[in-house]
Copies of this chain bind each other. A is one copy, B any other.
Amino acid sequence: MSSDPLGFAPHDHTRCVQSALAEVVRLCAERGVQMTPVRRRTFEILLEEHTAMGAYDVLARLDAEGLGSKPPVAYRALGFLVDQGFAHRIERLNAFIACAHPGADHNPAFMICRTCGTVAEAAAGHGPLGASAALAGFQIEQTVIEAEGLCPLCQTPETAP
């Protein structure tokens, strides 16, 4: 399990963006689904920062670029990205974030900084529920795991944004 909690800690973000984009383009071809302009731009917008964006924030960006102005446009593009595993919905925030490892088989877990809004994705199994679920006879299909707290930078007041 390549646990790579990207997001906190600096990194070459230009590369980070380029590789993610290249990977999803490749996956779309492989899967026979279309990476259309709206979908591509939506993904790029999500990739800009390692923070989650609300659908309406994404929509505002798309609108400014003439790619659509009505809610369904954004929700459809985001839905596509989520369905393909290229983005994730953060339930706690009612928002969306680009996947850190598109294509990789994953059941993601997230760490959300309540101060700076940075969201890091980590690998997770089905969490601590496996045992309880087995005991109760519950068949898990999907698990939401989202931790809220303080990222390394925001723990020290001096370096906090």
Contact = CB atoms under 8 A, between A and B. Distances in A.
A152 B136 contact: yes
A81 interface: no
A104 interface: no
Contacts of A114: 141
A84 B144 CA distance: 23
Copy tally for this chain in the complex stands at 2
A145 interface: yes
A147 B124 contact: no
Given A3-B132, A109-B132, A129-B109, A139 B155 contact: yes
Nearest to A6: B136
A144 B8 contact: no
Nearest to A143: B147
A92 to B, nearest CB: 5
A81 to B, nearest CB: 19
Given A8-B138, A133-B149, 4 more contacts: A3-B135, A5-B133, A92-B144, A145-B145
